[in-house]
Chains A and B, each alone.
Chain A
Amino acid sequence: MDVASINSNAEEFAIGCFLSIKTTFGDEFKGQVVAFDRPSNFLVLHILFGGGRKNVRILKANYIKELAFLGQGDDPVDLSKCCLDLSTLQAREELALRQAEAEAERIGVGVTAEAQNLFDALSKTLPVRWDKTVIVVMNEVRVNSPYVPESVSGGTPAANERVKKVLELERRRLHARGGP
């Protein structure tokens, strides 16, 4: 009942064997076959790093440009341990979604990388949010493009001053490090 025995093509995709693959897009990697689904032609590979970490690649076999067989190994998957807890997965997903959404809010849409860097720098010490392409600090002070100290407006004079100062220092720091 081995897939490998069914088809010579599939033989190369026997579970546990090590392959080196190059895709049509130029990606190269080495991995160990964990699963292969012939109907959909998807290959699942484990790419192992040191320290027990592994990447999983699910690749459509159509896009394999080059294939080299490196050796045969055992099934890397321990079937007895393979059970999944649905609720954990869902919870994990929700957690990831929450984090992603929070992240998304920090990214400005249609802003330059420089602006984004400035935003990130400001957000380390001040509450900032995006309003289209305007950085809004403490809900009061607005910084428009091109995000120079002169383009700071609004807020109390003290807050304004502060934002100007921070902005200036951040710019200097970014330039000093050769940032964009």
Chain B
Amino acid sequence: MIDAVGGLSGENLRGKGLGEPVPGSNRGLKSLLRMSVQQFAQPNSSANGYGRREVEREGASRVDNKLHSVKSSIGKMANTHYSSGNKFGGFGGASRDRLVYFSTCLIGHHVEIQVKNGSVYTGIFHAANVDRDFGIILKMAHLTKDMSAQLQNTHTDSLGKAFSKTLIVPAKDLVQIVAKDVSVTRDEISNEYQSERQRELLIDSYISRARPDDMERELKPWVPEDNDPHCAELENLFDDHWKSRGWDQFEVNEALFGVKSTFNEELYTTKLERGPRMRQLELEASRIAKEIEREDTRDLHLAEERGINLPESEDVDEETRFSSVYRGRVADDSGYEEEEDILLDIRNGETFDDAASSVIEKVFSGIAGGIDSDDSLLSSRSSMDVPQVSQSKDSANALSSKVPDINDRLLLPDRPTTLSQSDGEIRFQRTITDPHRANTDTSDGDQQKPVPHPKFSGVLKADDSVSSSGGHDDCHNGDGKGGSSSKVTTSTSSQVSMKEQSKKNPTGDQLETQGIPGEKLSVESHGRPGSSVSSTSDRPGRASASAGAGLTPSSSVGSLSSEKSMLNPNTKEFKLNPNAKSFVPSQAPVRPISPVGDSSFYFHANLSGMPQMHGMPVGVGLGPYVAHQPVIFNPQVAPVQSPQAYLPPAGPHYGQPMLIGHPRPFSYGPGFSPEMPYKGREF
């Protein structure tokens, strides 16, 4: 029996001789087979077919019944192989070789066997005896078509799909083997294997695909009819056509239902200064936006969005093309990937200990940066007042400086400004191009003149606040790279994975979170806890110019609409007050939690960012449950922890919105108490 012919191609077959003692049991046989096969797979320059055969023969004699001819067959095969020369070709002994080859191709494949009496078995091809006649072994076989006399009743209720773990079919009983979709070359086989392996992971789709008999009707993709007037409407739902018709949903709602909208845009975004320079800014911003949108990308989904037709997009199926998340390593627009991974790691390792710090540094290396702790004034406030900002010169955006390619995106053309805000739109992906560029310790004192980024500058110009650090020639690290501690991230950009974490800010002044979703340039610098003790950080190494990390040209993020991306100069800095009292509810009536079975639990995806609050009343006393209704979450308090899954009780609807107005900043997460001393934070 040949379990698998070790490399039927010429060289491979020159295995070494087998000298192992034969276990003599069936089970041992299998292992023996494997051994023999593996040995065959190893090229052996001293090919001596005859010698080998003899050795094998003696092994064979001790083996069991039907399978006894294993060794000899292998030997014989090897021999015939030899006789036909190194190359697998030619006839003569090769006819058998071909049979052997094809049977080998079938190993591991699903096959259907027909036996003498007409019954058909389906199973996985395991082995074939090609010595004399052609007996085979199947694994996990079951009867598919039963023609044996006694079981003629195909109408039994029973399915009778008993699986035999191993099914041995002697040659005299075998009629034919049918295998579908067989790959016969090595490439095909490995391709097939790879895709099988991938498929093993896609559990969901595998499950749903596995029962095709469940389909209730044949699904056909919808194609729009031509000249269908309605179709045009689909394309431009928000065009002026609709607007000009005079439909204002808010008006209608108010009229019909008395619902007044309380939406105040300025709550969520920076206040636009509608002044004389507005127009100019708008133009600039839209120019930047267009430029970004036209950018080339290799990402399937982005390309789809932009109308770029990637050549590889035709080969993928619909799911991959339109919806799924690509799990492999793909050339992304920038060095985003590794950064993201690292970032995520950082996020998980909430404690910014030394280990993490290095990671952080690496992450933000691209951003160049050393931001000194003591003066890192990277306030995320976009519209940073210059005086405040300028301090961080050194820290500056070395960020920007370090990343030449994105430099131009990050820095204002003509003014040294701290990049901090810059990040308004820091789209993480775009900024980090060279993670290793990092070493930009300010310590090196090297400063690269940050190339002003036209895009960016355009946006921020209005504010006057943005200061990208232009050529700071004296990137002094202040006191030894304490800088490393500060890490700037944007909390806003939807793409940025970093969430604001209530980190101790080294100088306690930067945590400005404008947790505004979508556009904003909120960047907060995070200090490393512990390390960033107020001023002097003992950390050597560079400040993670995290700002850089999050940096993206402000215009990059889609959220940046031309008019609205201005950073709000008037927003207050977020200062985390560790001494804030947790809110403890008065004895609110506790709603009974109805008993629910497993199935009634659900995860409310929207609120996944909701941190666990201590003592927050949600209509029920304390506990992990939070309201599952949409919450007016004050954007200035960005979630500080990675989302925790929670189980809201199904059933009772908690009527109170959880957060109203500006809640005090809470520290979230178990184990935190307001009394916990903040290291190095001064307020």
Contacts and interface: CB of A to CB of B under 8 A. Distances in A.
Contacts of A90: 4, 34, 107-108
B114 interface: yes
B105 interface: yes
Interface in A140-172: 156-159, 161-162
Contacts, number: 220
A34 B118 CA distance: 24
Contact of A82 (B101, B197, B597, B598): B101
A110 interface: yes
Contacts of B104: 84, 89
A111 B158 contact: yes
Interface residues of A, number: 70
B200 interface: yes
Contacts of B607: none
A43 to B, nearest CB: 9
Contacts of B102: 34-35, 44, 56, 58
A1 B93 CA distance: 10
B44 to A, nearest CB: 15
A60 B8 contact: no
B197 A60 contact: no
Chain A interface helix/strand/loop/mixed = mixed
A55 B197 contact: no
Interface in A1-40: 1-3, 15, 23, 25, 27, 34-40
Interface string B170-193: 010011111111101111011011
Interface string A95-118: 111111100100111111100100
Contacts of B381: none
A132 interface: no
A155 to B, nearest CB: 8
A138 B288 CA distance: 55
A10 to B, nearest CB: 9
B98 A44 contact: yes
Contacts of B160: 110
A67 interface: no
Nearest to B139: A97
B325 interface: no
A54 B176 contact: no
A40 B132 contact: yes
B105 A3 contact: no
Contacts of A110: 158-160
A44 B184 CA distance: 13
A15 B267 CA distance: 79
B176 A83 contact: no
Contact of A85 (B99, B118, B190): B190
Q: 10 tightest A-B contacts by CB?
A: A158-B597, A93-B108, A35-B98, A83-B9, A92-B108, A100-B140, A81-B185, A59-B176, A37-B99, A58-B177
Interface of B: 4-9, 12, 34, 37-38, 40-41, 87-92, 95-96, 98-99, 101-110, 114, 118, 123-124, 126, 130, 132-134, 139-140, 157-163, 171, 174-182, 184-187, 189-190, 192-193, 196-197, 200, 207-208, 211, 214, 216, 595-600
